[in-house]
Chains A and B, each alone.
Chain A
Amino acid sequence: MSANLPKPLLEAKAVAKHFGGVKALRDVSLSIRHGEIYGLIGPNGAGKTTFFNCMTGLYIPDGGGFSFDGTPLVANASDQAAARGIARTFQNIRLFGNMTALENVMVGRHVRTKAGVLGAIFQNAATRAEEAAIRQKAIDLLHYVRIEERADDLARNLSYGDQRRLEIARALATDPKLLCLDEPAAGMNATETEQLRELIDGIRRDGTTILLIEHDVKLVMGLCDRVAVLDYGALVIEDVPAVVQKDQRVIEAYLGA
């Protein structure tokens, strides 16, 4: 990535979150630049998903806040985060199981479309055109993640890897500026992980900034432009992979020394 004038897309300022006495996040500050793949790693329970949930409005932080694309991010409603352009996937896949793969992606267009009840009932020209556009976009996205032949299958009947892909397609349907992937490679074999790497790289090339939470250190180091390490809810380091890999504190955090 070019280093000249990196404008941050997302900035976290001293974000804190505690559950009872457990401090899940201790004043975490970091910034994600336009167009980069940003990795967030750390041992189990380091606060990665908590950070994610605070950012996407699922949790309300106890301190600090976020700014996104230059303006503060109102962090108390996840539908607003999506409207601003933050899309996410879930560590434990959350698809709409009894809807088809195509419908799952079509729902993703909800936030960028506007047909209401009256439009649906009277089927006016604008609604029909919008509906056709939604369907076309959804089909295109299924092609993009290469599961178009599963379009009419119920999401719950897709294979594990395809479900991960479908979740990414659904997130992309919201036209995100920032795509947040929560452990997308979890449970994948080497071939599937390699295909995922190509997919993520392709999404970035097509102009979407990516935040990646991942356990697979090899994947993160090979793919990310910059990496942040969390341990016990605090930020240990934020730098390019080459530096992070050699950092003594990171090695200690992972080896538990």
Chain B
Amino acid sequence: MNFGHFFRSTVGIATLAALLVALPFVAAMGGQAWVRILDFAILYVFLALGLNIVVGLAGLLDLGYIAFYAVGAYTWALLASPHFGLHWPIWAILPIGAGLACLAGVVLGSPTLKLRGDYLAIVTLGFGEIVRIFLNNLNAPFNITNGPQGITLIDPVSFGAFQFSGTTQILGFAVSGPQKYYFLLVALAILVVIINLRLQNSRIGRAWQAIREDEIAAKAIGINTRNLKLLAFAMGASFGGVAGGIFSAMQGFVSPESFSLIESIMILAMVVLGGMGHIPGVILGAVLLTVLPEVLRYGVGPLQMALFGKMLADPESLRMLVFGLALVLVMRFKPAGLWPSPERQRELQETGK
């Protein structure tokens, strides 16, 4: 892939870095809302890469991934908000959130070790819903999660005196809260990309792929499939936990509503649509699926007004229609995803598909 070579060259990296730095300032011209959309795009890149370990590498179809995101988000919300009067620092909460999410991953993983494909999908889907319903109902007899009202006034990310909320002057530039979060998220996302890349081409990564391809053969050459599947669940879940923590801090508010099944499905769609198991593809999928619905949200209404002079269809429902159609078309014409790995691409060409 020419793109791949480009990104590996010095010029490519420099261009990419310049683009990444300029992006939030360009987006700010359209209003801070667009910077916030960018933030979410990067956050979903983070989540999608976490899920890619479970689904793309180890081949475990997980439809409850959002549960780990919820665990991370609520960990931050409970440990850094007036709800319990706790205001712990980031370096304590983020590892705790990742750890708890990791534990949740093992808890989900251990009873499902013998399940594959559809069966695993159903169980993980149930798990995701259980977590959400728990969060919804854990306000009695002891008020832990504050139920459907959610938790408000959550502390933003801060390093010492440096706050990530509000505008600060940096080198004469006024940098807004969402812009600061953007840079934090990009830094984290780069870290996750590196971890993903290194895992993929490692002994552990190869073993995951072997399990995905043929579990019996993987066992026969001495791979402990039980431990490795648990490890995949745990790794993916801890990424979800970290993303959840940042989400919580960025929003300042969490409620169980943010962790519904549709979110799990969206993240899975990002992985599948982009190109399962191929990191650049997964990133592309995450960015597209976050930005595209927003573009439609803001674009569909004005477009109708310009074309017909009146609103023919409700922008919100039209948005989902166009979005659904786009998904169907991609799966029809690019079954391996928008940007599949070179091997997958070659394979599709060779089988004449």
Contacts and interface: CB of A to CB of B under 8 A. Distances in A.
B209 A79 contact: no
A99 B213 contact: yes
A56 interface: yes
B195 interface: yes
Nearest to B202: A120
Contacts of A106: 206
A154 B346 contact: yes
Nearest to A106: B206
B199 A117 contact: yes
Interface stretch (A8-16, A41-49, A108-116, A186-194): A108-116
Contact of B205 (A81, A95, A96, A120): A120
Interface residues of B, number: 31
Contacts of B221: 82, 87, 107-108, 110-111, 170-171, 173-174
Interface of B: 195, 198-199, 202-207, 209-210, 212-214, 216-225, 231, 235, 343-344, 346-347, 350
Given A94-B216, A96-B210, A115-B202, A110 B347 contact: no
A220 B259 CA distance: 62
A173 to B, nearest CB: 7
B214 A95 contact: yes
A156 interface: yes
A231 interface: no
12 contacts: A79-B219, A80-B222, A83-B222, A97-B214, A103-B206, A107-B210, A109-B203, A115-B202, A120-B202, A121-B195, A156-B347, A170-B221
Nearest to A97: B213
A62 to B, nearest CB: 21
B164 to A, nearest CB: 26
Contacts of A99: 206, 209-210, 213
A87 B222 CA distance: 9
A100 B213 CA distance: 12
A58 interface: yes
Nearest to A114: B203
A87 B221 CA distance: 6
A113 B223 contact: no
Contacts of A145: none
Nearest to A82: B222
